[in-house]
Structure 1
Amino acid sequence: MIAPLRVPRFRLIWGASVLSNLGLVIQGVGAAWTMTQITNDATLVALVQSATLVPMLLFTLPAGAMADVYPRRTVALAALAISLSGTSILSMLAFANAITPVALLILSFVAGCGMAFFWPAWQSSAADDVPADLLPAAVGLNSISYNAARVVGPGVGGMIVAGGSATVAFVVSFCLYLPMVGAQLRTSARRTLTRLPPERIGRALITGLRYAANATPVVNIVVRSFALGAIGGSVHALMPLIARDLLGAGAGTFGILLGLFGAGAVVGIVVAARLRQRFGTDGSASVCIIALGLSLTVVGVSRYVPLTGAALIVAGAAWMCMTQACSVGLQMSVPRWVAGRALACFQASLSGGIALAGVGWGLFAERFGVGNAFIGSGLLILLSIALRRVWPLPEIGGAYVVSGVGAPDPELVVRIDGNGGPILIEVEYSIPVRQALGFHRMMTTVQRLRKRNGAYGWSIARDLGRPDVWKERFHFPTWHDYLRQRERLTDQERELQSSVMSLHAGTEPVVVRRFLLGPSEVDLTSDADHANEWPQTVIQ
């Protein structure tokens, strides 16, 4: 598990990432406690958490596209600059005792924006920092860094607030971002060279969303993480109110409770692997959900610090196990070309759920009481176990998705610009009638393969006059998009294509035809000698 830390580049970035993630969380703790001191409105207190996490929902997807298209170090440095600006202004206002609820929410939002752009670039850079055989372990360590900071950080922040003030927490948060800036400047940028120009951000975003929608592991993780954040996120949004309203205590007790929640996260890191070995990924997730639901219910009914603290230890461990399973499972299930965007989908769903929890459970607590909010959250999280029947989590121990070697460019007669399109691809198969049902079922999987790699308008048709002839058709916006799809095929996807090809029984190989839809007069004039010579090539 710790083998990637022997790689100097990864060790430097990973150590700095622990501190920067911790800085964001400490800033959030200071902001949350500051809000309790300047207002008695429970909704405003809960909105501090939402203000920090809403940027994850709004900007993480574009940030993931940027991380896949542009140099990740450049994206990371720009994101850190945004976070540093928000935190520095917050520190200065705190020193001047000039913080208002509105200013606190706005600056928390700015700091969250920076981390929203930083997170996909950092997480998806693991493949650039370590050899391929160490990538699974590196993914796990990055997951631990982020999730540990999210659940250990509140405890550290609480102790800083209790021993000093929220102002000290803001200054500490600012300082904790600086090591990552130094680490990024110290390491040289690494970028995979490609003969194709980078995708435009808008198209890269659409491609990433299309991939996520057609990749079952990504869909399952997105749904489960959103449910976890929206239902169980009450523990993050309402943590200050546990100390103030349920226990009638102050900042000291608040810090202790956060520390206990963080200690539970450490326990979760230790026991996560054992739980997966015994129950499997989805089974261990169910165990965590039960533990989280029961612990939140205990928090809601308890009025004693020891009992509440014990429940928060269990809640921290359960939260860590669940989020780590989702993060590692996702990164082991997607190829590197879309890793930033897939991680962005996961983070947006989890952060969006927690942000929704901040608003929803804050309003619920304001009307029905903080204790009832935790009881309701605990009961709903227990009921969410039923989601595993429809959206099971992928097994972390399964085969890692390996990007294959790109296919050579097809030979063309008609010259075409890379931005020319749309492109229609037609594949003709000859399938024996007795194998038609199996072929059709296999093609439903091929359909998802085509769509997640950038195709649209997919269809499969059977010749009514020759029932053994099938034609598959799909489209790409441009010729470059089609060439990118050929480079994106993973080893597993090539195996699927080979299985489909093995059903072909014609005397001639499977034929692929490529068409430029609606060629313009410029296209026809520039290559008049070959205007009607559409190529016919054999799939390779």
Structure 2
Amino acid sequence: MIAPPSPVPDSKISLWTPFTFSLFRAIWIASLVSNIGTWMQNVAGVWLVTILTTSTLLVALMQTATSLPSFLLSVPAGALADLTDRRRMLLFTQGFMACMATLLGTLTLMGNISALGVLSFTFLLGMGAALNGPVWQTITPELIPRPVLPFALTLNGVSINVARAVGPAIGGVIISYFSPGYVFLLNGVSFLGTWIVIYSWKRKVAVSSVPAENFIGALRAGVRYVQYSPAIYAILIRAFSFSFGASAMWALLSIVVARRLQLDSSAYGVMLSWLGAGAVSGAFTTGIINRRFTVNQRVLIAIVIFTGTNLSLAFFPAAYWLYPVMFLSGMAWLMIMTSFNTTVQLNLPKWVQARVLSIYMLVFQGGMALGSVTWGTLADHFSLWIALVAAAVWLLLSAFLAIPFPISPAENLNLTPAEHWPEPTVQGDIDPDDGPVVVMVEYMVKVADIPAFRQAVDQLVRLRLRDGALRAGVFTDVTNPSRITEFFYVATWGEHQRQHHRFTKEDLAIETRVIHFHTGSVPPRVTHYIAFPKAPNVDIAPPFENMEGQS
């Protein structure tokens, strides 16, 4: 069994530190090979559909077949990743994609594939990728100590950018001299490499003493966690606003090269190469940048660079002027992707990690998709430079979102379960599905301290809602204003038990501030109530109609 990652002194951390962990190193190499195979597959699939049909719509639908599964499945996949054994889920998704790619390659080489067949297999591969994405994102924090995580995520970004640069070129050579079928087969083999590495990972599965969540409840819990986590939805708002504006470069770059600069596809490839080179080069400056700039400053730098990128694409008269712009854009892209991804992951406890990451991925990709449609429509109805300038203006305005939605640093958060709430001693048996449950906590607070207490308890109420409560609030005794009762309402007894294990040591500091205002000689009184028909040791009153005539 592979030992858990050991702490690393901050002074010794660098970009190469994640590679000192053998399992991360093996998975990174396997992932690089798999990413190259995926980019080879993308080129071969589009090319094969192009030669199998004269329909422009079918060719355009290749992008839809690739991205639609992520839109449909990313959030459910996140819930599944939190409910199931992540190692087994990865083995399933990697094996499924290997089978689909191999079957597509075999049918292609046999001459038994059509354009609709390629689209269908592309959609199936997209489903595998959508199910794989959230759980794949969550394994890096299990392999790497928290201080090294930003560098590990940067290396993951480098893997994707290297594959983006190398994969299409290799795929194009194989298509030119052989057949797209061989590309599909090689992609199938690339998944097998990752499958073997994951299979060798003897992951220790934590045994939980609380009732398991069901699928629908897990989905709701993930959405609720985002809703009541200001740090998370601040990142989501900033990520959406950036991806919406930055999508103009990705959507309109080929049109700038072909129509405005009147150049061929090779020039477009060179532009992408400069972009990839900037992203890879940016990885080597990650440590310096992260130490010198906060995450809010890094986001602002990326916004300024992409504003300049859009304006450069609109006005620069020659391709060679755009090469350094693309290089800087690649550096900025890697920097902001790493900043968003790292900050999201550092804000998440393990129990909800994959669900919230899937929501983050959906929001970011949604911004890219909506932005591409918006800027493309503007370019069609008005002009290319108007679309690019509008995207630049959007990005500049989005910088002001840092005022209401600042991104909080998360490196020092302690999100391990506090496990400090004692389980109540109950009379009789309570089924985990019994409920609803109402929990009341009674405080005695000095009248002079009530305003400060209210501010502190409001934060605690938000935590109750975040961790599973359907309703929560604070009431004051009208006959004795010093007696204040906090309540929260939970759907089932099992969900309340899960609340006990979701409360983190970081949350404990907020609860401690609230309890500090309590002046009673004993701790605040905690009372649990369960819905009357299911309550143990309580006689159920007869219906009203049976009581008529009784005195």
- What TM-score bracket applies, with the shorter chain setting the length? 0.7 to 0.9
Letter in 2 for 1:266: V
Q: Note the aligned Cα RMSD (angstroms).
A: 3.1
Letter in 1 for 2:167: G
Pair 1:458 & 2:472 matched:
yes
Is the contact between residue 418 and residue 480 of structure 1 (CA under 8 Å) also seen in structure 2? Answer: yes
Moved more, 41-50 or 420-429: 41-50
Pair 1:295 & 2:309 matched:
yes
Residues 261, 158 of structure 1: CA spacing in aligned structure 2 closer, same or farther, 3 A cutoff? Answer: farther
Partner of 2:448: 434
2:429 to 415, 422, 433: 415
Residues 107, 365 of structure 1: CA spacing in aligned structure 2 closer, same or farther, 3 A cutoff? Answer: farther
Partner of 1:514: 528
Partner of 1:448: 462
Partner of 1:140: 150
Tell me by how many angstroms 1:246 deviates. 4.0
Partner of 1:482: 496
Pair 1:154 & 2:164 matched:
yes
How does 1:56-67 map onto structure 2 within 5 Å?
56-67=70-81
2:295 to 253, 256, 281: 281
Moved more, 323-332 or 246-255: 246-255
Determine the C-alpha separation between the residues in 2 that align with 1:249 and 1:86: 37
Partner of 1:534: none
1:353 to 358, 361, 367: 367
Q: Describe the SS at the equivalent of 1:425.
A: strand
Tell me by how many angstroms 1:82 deviates. 4.0
Pair 1:316 & 2:330 matched:
yes
Residues 429, 329 of structure 1: CA spacing in aligned structure 2 closer, same or farther, 3 A cutoff? Answer: same
Residues 337, 172 of structure 1: CA spacing in aligned structure 2 closer, same or farther, 3 A cutoff? Answer: same
Pair 1:235 & 2:245 matched:
no
Determine the C-alpha separation between the residues in 2 that align with 1:497 and 1:400: 15
Determine the C-alpha separation between the residues in 2 that align with 1:450 and 1:390: 24
Partner of 2:11: none
Residues 470, 196 of structure 1: CA spacing in aligned structure 2 closer, same or farther, 3 A cutoff? Answer: same
Is the contact between residue 95 and residue 192 of structure 2 (CA under 8 Å) also seen in structure 1? Answer: no
Residues 238, 179 of structure 1: CA spacing in aligned structure 2 closer, same or farther, 3 A cutoff? Answer: farther
1:326 to 340, 359, 363: 340
Moved more, 498-507 or 387-396: 387-396
Q: Describe the SS at the equivalent of 1:471.
A: strand
Moved more, 337-346 or 349-358: 349-358
Deviations 1:52-83, CA, capped at 9 Å, x for gaps: 33433322211111111110011112222443
Deviations 1:144-168, CA, capped at 9 Å, x for gaps: 2443344443322343355454836
Letter in 2 for 1:330: V
Determine the C-alpha separation between the residues in 2 that align with 1:246 and 1:224: 31
Determine the C-alpha separation between the residues in 2 that align with 1:172 and 1:250: 29
Moved more, 390-399 or 380-389: 390-399
Partner of 1:6: 20
Pair 1:197 & 2:208 matched:
no
Partner of 1:206: 220
Deviations 1:243-276, CA, capped at 9 Å, x for gaps: 4444444443333222211111113223333333
Residues 326, 443 of structure 1: CA spacing in aligned structure 2 closer, same or farther, 3 A cutoff? Answer: same
Pair 1:268 & 2:282 matched:
yes
Moved more, 498-507 or 14-23: 14-23
Determine the C-alpha separation between the residues in 2 that align with 1:334 and 1:40: 48
Partner of 1:537: none
Residues 191, 48 of structure 1: CA spacing in aligned structure 2 closer, same or farther, 3 A cutoff? Answer: same
Moved more, 484-493 or 77-86: 77-86
2:66 to 39, 52, 59: 52
Pair 1:394 & 2:408 matched:
yes
Of all paired residues, the percent bearing the same amino acid is: 26
Is the contact between residue 38 and residue 167 of structure 2 (CA under 8 Å) also seen in structure 1? Answer: no
Residues 171, 502 of structure 1: CA spacing in aligned structure 2 closer, same or farther, 3 A cutoff? Answer: same
Is the contact between residue 460 and residue 470 of structure 1 (CA under 8 Å) also seen in structure 2? Answer: yes
- The gaps in structure 1 that reach 5 residues or longer are 532-540
Determine the C-alpha separation between the residues in 2 that align with 1:41 and 1:360: 24
Letter in 2 for 1:515: Y
Determine the C-alpha separation between the residues in 1 that align with 2:301 and 2:501: 40
Letter in 2 for 1:159: A
Determine the C-alpha separation between the residues in 1 that align with 2:86 and 2:299: 32
Partner of 1:381: 395
Determine the C-alpha separation between the residues in 1 that align with 2:90 and 2:532: 42
Letter in 2 for 1:413: Q
Residues 90, 343 of structure 1: CA spacing in aligned structure 2 closer, same or farther, 3 A cutoff? Answer: same
Is the contact between residue 328 and residue 396 of structure 1 (CA under 8 Å) also seen in structure 2? Answer: no
Partner of 1:304: 318
1:258 to 261, 268, 272: 272
Q: Describe the SS at the equivalent of 1:429.
A: strand
2:506 to 474, 492, 496: 492
Tell me by how many angstroms 1:425 deviates. 0.5
Is the contact between residue 162 and residue 255 of structure 1 (CA under 8 Å) also seen in structure 2? Answer: no
Deviations 1:479-526, CA, capped at 9 Å, x for gaps: 111111111111111121111111101233200110111324xx65xx
Q: Describe the SS at the equivalent of 1:426.
A: strand
Moved more, 498-507 or 349-358: 349-358
Is the contact between residue 43 and residue 172 of structure 2 (CA under 8 Å) also seen in structure 1? Answer: no
2:487 to 463, 473, 476: 473
- The gaps in structure 2 that reach 5 residues or longer are 1-13, 542-551
Pair 1:336 & 2:350 matched:
yes
Partner of 2:10: none
Pair 1:183 & 2:197 matched:
yes
Moved more, 481-490 or 116-125: 116-125
Letter in 2 for 1:135: R
Moved more, 102-111 or 380-389: 102-111
Which has the greater radius of gyration? 2
Is the contact between residue 419 and residue 500 of structure 2 (CA under 8 Å) also seen in structure 1? Answer: no
Q: Describe the SS at the equivalent of 2:373.
A: helix
Residues 236, 45 of structure 1: CA spacing in aligned structure 2 closer, same or farther, 3 A cutoff? Answer: farther
Letter in 2 for 1:157: G
Letter in 2 for 1:229: S
Pair 1:216 & 2:230 matched:
yes
Determine the C-alpha separation between the residues in 2 that align with 1:497 and 1:94: 62
Residues 16, 256 of structure 1: CA spacing in aligned structure 2 closer, same or farther, 3 A cutoff? Answer: same
Residues 88, 242 of structure 1: CA spacing in aligned structure 2 closer, same or farther, 3 A cutoff? Answer: farther
Tell me by how many angstroms 1:142 deviates. 4.4
Determine the C-alpha separation between the residues in 2 that align with 1:478 and 1:241: 56
Letter in 1 for 2:166: V
Residues 190, 57 of structure 1: CA spacing in aligned structure 2 closer, same or farther, 3 A cutoff? Answer: farther
